[in-house]
Amino acid sequence: MTQLRQKMLEELQRRHYAYRTANTYLRIVRDFAAYFHRSPDKLGPEQIRQYQAYLFHSKNLSPASVSQYVSALRFLFVKTLHRHFLAEHIPFPKTPRRLPVVLSLEEVTRLIDAARNLYHRTLLMTLYSTAVRRSELCRLQVSDIDSQRMRIRITQGKGSRDREVPLSPTLLQALRVYWRWMKPKTYLFPGTVHHRRADVPITANIVWLACHQAALRAGISKRLSPHRLRHSCATHLLDAGADLRTIQVLLGRSRSKSPRPMQSGFLDSWVSGKLLSSVELRNDA
C-alpha cells in the first residue's frame, strides 16, 4: 500500500465512511492514477478535465456514475491532499431528473403472486411492505422481527442509522408461514455456500433475481428492480394520505435539520413511535 493510499484510507476511516464507500473511493483513485500512469498527487486540473471527458465519452458512464467519481476525486484532492482550490475544477455533472417507475397496487399483487416459491414470495412481500433497501433486506435477522410491538428493526441502514418500520398483520402472518417452512436461524433470508443453504446473509443479486423472475411471470412490462418496490410503497402511502415526514422516516431518509442532534434524534424516535403506528401498509397478496 502506497503512502498516499494509506493516508486517504485513514482520512476515510476517521470520518467513519462506510467500508463499501471507502473501497469504492480507493478503487476510483487507483483507476484515475492508472489512466495517466502517474501518482495522483502529481496530477492537476487538466488531467481531471481529461479524465471526466473520458468517463463520459469513452466509458459511456451515466451522470450518476460520474458523480461518484467526482466525490472520490474531491475527497482525494480536498480532504487528503488539502488542495481546496481544486474543488472548482472537479464539477458534479448535471443529472437529469426522472420520475421513478411505480407499480400499481394491482401490479404489486400480481408480482407477489407470481413469485417462484415461498422464499421469493415472502422476500418480495417484505421488500414492498417495509420499503427497505435491498442491502437492508439482505441483513435482516430473525431477532429484528418484533411481533409484540409490530415493528421490524433495521440495523445500521444507509448512513449507519438504525430505524424501525411497521410490521403489518398480513406480513406477520406470511413470515410465520415462511418461518415454519424455512426455519431460519440468524438471518431471516439465509443465503447459500457452495450451493447449499447456510446461515449467511443473502446476496443482493438474489433479491434482484427474485424481482426480475416474478415480473416476467406476472407479465409486467415496466422496468422493474427491488428499488422500484420501495418507490411504489412510498407512493401508495402518499396516495393513502400519509404525510411526507412519516414516509421520510419510514424510508430512512435524511433527518430533519436541527441545531441540536439530540432534538433531531428525539423527533425521529417520536415520529417512529407515534406516527408510524398509524400507517397500515397494503399487502394484498
Q: Centre a 10 Å sphere on the Cβ of residue 43 and count the other Cβ atoms it contains.
A: 20
- Alpha-carbon 98 to chain mean position: 18
Specify the higher pLDDT residue, 255 or 107: 107
CA 96 to CA 275: how far, in whole Å?
33
Look at residue 283 and tell me whether its pLDDT is greater than 70.
Answer: no
Domain co-membership, 131 together with 20: no
CA distances from 123 to 46, 82, 138, 189 (A): 48, 46, 10, 7
Per-residue pLDDT, 99? 79
Domain co-membership, 69 together with 166: no
Question: Does residue 96 belong to any structural domain of this protein?
Answer: no
Count the residues in the chain: 285
Per-residue pLDDT, 125? 94
Look at residue 264 and tell me whether its pLDDT is greater than 90.
Answer: no
Question: Does residue 70 belong to any structural domain of this protein?
Answer: yes
Question: Does residue 98 belong to any structural domain of this protein?
Answer: no
Domain co-membership, 65 together with 184: no
CATH of residue 214's domain is: 1.10.443.10
Mean of the pLDDT values across residues 246-267? 54
Per-residue pLDDT, 272? 39
Look at residue 222 and tell me whether its pLDDT is greater than 70.
Answer: yes
C-alpha cell at 93: 455533472
Domain co-membership, 74 together with 134: no
Look at residue 257 and tell me whether its pLDDT is greater than 80.
Answer: no
Domain co-membership, 71 together with 111: no
Ramachandran category for residue 248: left, alpha or beta (phi over 0 → left; psi -120 to 50 → alpha): alpha
- Alpha-carbon 133 to chain mean position: 4
Specify the higher pLDDT residue, 97 or 24: 24
Per-residue pLDDT, 250? 81
Per-residue pLDDT, 243? 81
Taking all residues of the chain, what is their mean pLDDT, rounded to a whole number?
A: 86
Domain co-membership, 170 together with 268: yes
Contact indicator for 199, 185 with CB cutoff of 8 Å: yes
Q: Nearest Cα to 247, choosing from 262, 264, 235, 263?
A: 235
Question: Does residue 63 belong to any structural domain of this protein?
Answer: yes
Look at residue 135 and tell me whether its pLDDT is greater than 80.
Answer: yes
Q: Kindly give the pairing relationship between strand 151-154 and strand 196-201.
A: unpaired
Per-residue pLDDT, 253? 74
Side-by-side strand order, sheet with 163-166 = 145-146, 151-154, 163-166
Look at residue 244 and tell me whether its pLDDT is greater than 90.
Answer: no
Per-residue pLDDT, 255? 52
Question: Does residue 198 belong to any structural domain of this protein?
Answer: yes
Per-residue pLDDT, 274? 40
Core vs surface per residue 172-193: b (16+ CB within 10 A) or e:
eebbeebeeebebeebbbbeee
Of 22, 54, 89, which residue constitutes the final position of a domain?
A: 89
**Per DSSP, what are the bridge partners of residue 37?**
none
Q: Tell me, what amino acid is at 199?
A: D
CA 24 to CA 14: how far, in whole Å?
16
Residue 180: give the domain boundaries: 105-278
DSSP 185-202: SSBSSEEEETTEEEEEEP
Domain co-membership, 84 together with 111: no
CATH of residue 74's domain is: 1.10.150.130
For the stretch 138-167, pLDDT in tens is: 999 999 999 999 999 998 877 778 888 889
Q: Which residue has the cell 498516499?
A: 4
- Alpha-carbon 140 to chain mean position: 13
Domain co-membership, 179 together with 260: yes
Per-residue pLDDT, 1? 59
Look at residue 127 and tell me whether its pLDDT is greater than 90.
Answer: yes
Look at residue 263 and tell me whether its pLDDT is greater than 80.
Answer: no
Domain count, the chain: 2
Domain co-membership, 60 together with 133: no
CA 74 to CA 92: how far, in whole Å?
10
3-state SS class at 148: coil
For the stretch 34-59, pLDDT in tens is: 999 999 999 999 999 999 999 999 99
Mean of the pLDDT values across residues 109-130? 94
Domain co-membership, 9 together with 81: yes
Contact indicator for 110, 214 with CB cutoff of 8 Å: no
CA dihedral 164, 207, 124, 18 (to 10 degrees): 10
Of 56, 89, 122, which residue constitutes the final position of a domain?
A: 89
